[in-house]
Amino acid sequence: MSEASHVPRSVLVTGGAGFIGANFVEHLLDTDDTVKVTTLDALTYAGSLDNLARVIGNPRHAFVKGDITDAPLVNSILADSAIDTIVHFAAESHVDRSITGPAAFITTNVVGTFTLLEAARAAWQGRFGSGVRFHHVSTDEVFGSLNEDDPPFSEATPYSPNSPYSASKAGSDHLVRAYHHTYGLPVTITNCSNNYGPYQHAEKFIPTVIRSALAEKPIPIYGAGLNVRDWLYVGDHCAAIDLVIREGEDGETYLIGGRSERRNIDIASQICAILDELAPRGSGRYADLLTSVTDRLGHDFRYAIDSGRIERELGWHARETFDSGIRLTVDWYLANGSYLARL
């Protein structure tokens, strides 16, 4: 192990009943047979105990329903469970919802992060030198938009958020960094590209394409579908976060991406082709359902991540290509169709 190594023993996972959080809880319990995990989730529309079905009943896992802005609750969890590691996923995350209702994003993403930081600072006072760590999970959207020929985002890219969602995440990133530099709180931060895989909420792009296709309804594509995202399979993301928590340098940020830039229209077409193979329509092809809809306000053109730092320094590399990961994802939704109805 490196000098920076941190060994999590009792972990609080906020937002652990959501998409990435639930996958991370599974990953942690599957790969470390000594760690104890407490999941804190408010069970809003984006979280479900069904996502934790594999770990409910595991003696090393406890679930607490509650809000990260509830300071007494957070303080009691840290004390009662002797938490030494916080992995902070809990966030309002849907850009469209942030445009129509930004207040919830400020409350959860900024005030909630502040509440957790204050609780950690109080609970871990005197232990900042070793044995504790606050890990904050963020997004590439804090860096704004790229043009077609721009280099990918890196850890040196200036922040330039363009939506209420990304602005709230940028604010939480800055708070985490400030608590490290002001108080010495041991922290790490990761900014990831677009995730996909099991348990993703039905409102997101890839599940929407699958759901609409299987229902033989128009598959909505913003504008001409030319917006570009870098796609990261959620299992690879979880492995990267775990590695950063254990081996990342205190106070540092690592960008995590799949090196899989794709246009939205190309992703939708690829999903349609997989469904043509695995669950063919009675007549016609699923791609016939692709339908252009009015573009999102302030829709960023392109995101892309340079994962060079985490690859060089920590030895992480994505295991799934987009082609392998999207097939795994479509297979999962075909086997778990009830998830597509959760809007």
User: Among all residues, which ones are annotated catalytic?
Assistant: 140-141, 165
| Interstrand relation of 85-88 and 61-65 (parallel, antiparallel or unpaired) | unpaired
C-alpha–C-alpha distance, residues 338 and 176, integer Å:
37
Q: Are strands 228-233 and 261-263 parallel, antiparallel or unpaired?
A: antiparallel
Closest residue by Cα to residue 277 from 341, 239, 203, 331: 331
**DSSP labels for 159-208?**
P---SHHHHHHHHHHHHHHHHHHHH---EEEEEE-EEESTT--TTSHHHH
Q: Report the C-alpha gap between 101 and 335 in whole angstroms.
A: 33
- Residue 255's nearest CA partner among 335, 316, 204 is 316
Task: Please name the amino acid found at residue 90.
Answer: A
Contacts of 256 (CB under 8 A, 6+ apart): 190, 191, 192, 193, 232, 237, 240, 241, 305, 307, 310, 316
- How far CA 106 is from CA of 15, 45, 98, 273, 315, in Å, comes to 16, 17, 9, 39, 35
Counting Cβ atoms within 10 Å, is residue 155 exposed (0-12), middle (13-18) or buried (19+)?
middle
